[in-house]
């Protein structure tokens, strides 16, 4: 990497005028696209939210319904993300460190939530836990509410986000190999020591990265949650659902105010992700370079 960087630019071929023009055109096109399709809408969200002044915006945000939607969203994320981390670590450990029958099936299954439409995911839960579903009558008899209640929202979110951590970890752990872990076992480390002292420190960046992706998805999930939530205002609406409800009621300022919260959350997670990418990818490249050199 350093070597490549240290080549003086004068040694590289000078681009011709036509090449330079082409390059400028490409960059311009990319920037225009970004501005038109990404930056402008984000700006529009905030403009619309603040269009009637800061006070109205503030009032729209601190509305009882919006606050309870925000609380529910945070609760769902607080349950779904740790579950996701547990599942992700367990699945990627099993897949990269052991051979077992059904391994390729497991790898394929992890991808199902990514390939299936979230609406379908929601409907599957309705089919299983709903009033007329397989477990419906039994749940009813025991006075357990899953569909149109918080547990259903959590389940749907867990389903939709479950590949994120595993998807990040599996290729990373495959590339890293298990030599260090075998060395630790030979040195007498038990499972606990092995995980906390060797495995976790090695995968921490990839794990954090996957966690952030899972968090931002669980905050923003709409389709699956929409099916199972029942849209009970103040009780089973998450922030994305709240935005939709306000919008359908032509309460644009309030809708955009709530949307701006989601957008902010997305920007913050992207920022954290960007900050984490720095050290993580840097490490990776160095070790690869080391390997190449030795």
The answer to whether residue 102 forms part of the interface with another protein (CB under 8 A) is no
Count of CA atoms in the C-beta half-sphere (13 A) of 237: 19
Q: Binding to another protein by residue 2, rule CB under 8 A? A: no
- Considering the complex, state which of residue 193 and residue 251 has its C-beta at the smaller distance from another protein: 193
How far apart are alpha carbons 162 and 174 in whole angstroms? 19
User: Which residue's CB is nearer to another protein, number 181 or number 221?
Assistant: 181
Residue 182 touching another protein (CB under 8 A) = yes
Contact between 286 and another protein by CB under 8 A: the answer reads: yes
Query: Which residues from 195-254 bind another protein, rule CB under 8 A?
Result: 197-198, 201-202
Please identify, using beta-carbon distances, which residue of 135 and 185 lies nearer to another protein: 185
Give the binding range for another protein (CB under 8 A) out of 124-132, 156-164, 183-191, 239-247: 183-191
Is 290 an interacting residue with respect to another protein (CB under 8 A)?
yes
Choose the binding region for another protein from 58-66, 161-169, 261-269, 286-294 (rule: CB under 8 A). Answer: 286-294
User: Which of these segments, 4-12, 143-151, 176-184, 223-231, binds another protein (CB under 8 A)?
Assistant: 176-184
48 is an interface residue for another protein by CB under 8 A: no
Among 180, 230, 247, 272, binds another protein (CB under 8 A): 180
Residue 101 as a binder of another protein (CB under 8 A): the answer is no
Min. distance of Cβ 193 from another protein in angstroms?
4
Query: Residue 39 contacts by C-beta under 8 Å, 6 or more apart in sequence?
Result: none
**CB-wise, 162 or 198, nearer to another protein?**
198
CB of 49 to another protein, least distance (A): 44
Q: What is the DSSP string of the chain?
A: -HHHHHS-GGGSPPPPHHHHHHHHHHHHHHHHHHIIIIIHHHHHHHHHHTTT-HHHHHHHHTSHHHHHHHHHHHHHHHHHHHHHHHHHHHHHHHHHH---TTHHHHHHHHHHHHHS-HHHHHHHHHHHHSTTSSSHHHHHHTT---TTSHHHHHHHHHHHHTHHHHHHHHHHHHHH-SHHHHHHHHTT--HHHIIIIIIHHHHHHHHHHHHHHHHHHHHH--HHHHHHH---TTTT--HHHHHHHHHHTT-HHHHHHHHHHHHHHHHHHHHHHHHHHHHHHHHHHHHHHHHHH-
The nearest distance, CB 26 to another protein, in angstroms, is 37
Q: Does 191 bind another protein (CB under 8 A)?
A: no
Contacting positions for another protein (CB under 8 A) = 179-180, 182-190, 193, 197-198, 201-202, 286-287, 290, 294
């Amino acid at each position: 990497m350093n070597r490549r960087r240290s080549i003086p630019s004068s040694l590289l071929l000078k681009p011709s005028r036509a090449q330079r023009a082409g390059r400028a055109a490409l960059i311009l096109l990319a920037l225009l696209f970004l501005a038109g399709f990404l930056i402008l809408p984000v700006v529009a969200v905030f403009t619309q939210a603040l269009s009637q002044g800061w006070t109205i915006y503030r009032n729209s945000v601190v509305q009882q319904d919006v606050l309870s939607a925000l609380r529910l969203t945070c609760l769902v994320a607080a349950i779904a993300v740790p579950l996701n981390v547990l599942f992700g670590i367990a699945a990627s450990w099993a897949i990269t460190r052991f051979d077992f029958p059904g391994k390729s099936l497991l790898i394929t299954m992890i991808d199902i939530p990514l390939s299936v439409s979230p609406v379908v995911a929601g409907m599957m839960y309705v089919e299983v836990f709903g009033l007329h579903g397989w477990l419906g009558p039994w749940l009813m008899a025991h006075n357990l509410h899953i569909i149109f209640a918080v547990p259903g929202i959590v389940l749907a979110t867990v389903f939709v986000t479950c590949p994120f951590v595993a998807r990040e970890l599996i290729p990373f752990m495959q590339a890293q190999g298990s030599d260090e872990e075998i060395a630790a076992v030979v040195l007498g480390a038990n499972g606990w020591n092995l995980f906390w002292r060797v495995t976790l420190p090695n995968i921490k960046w990839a794990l954090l990265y996957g966690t952030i992706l899972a968090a931002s998805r669980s905050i923003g999930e709409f389709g699956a949650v929409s099916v199972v939530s029942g849209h009970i205002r103040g009780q089973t609406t998450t922030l994305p659902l709240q935005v939709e409800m306000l919008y359908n009621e032509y309460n644009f300022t309030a809708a955009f105010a709530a949307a701006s919260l989601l957008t902010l959350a997305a920007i913050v997670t992207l920022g954290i992700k960007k900050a984490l990418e720095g050290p993580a990818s840097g490490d990776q490249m160095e070790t690869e370079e080391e390997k190449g050199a030795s």
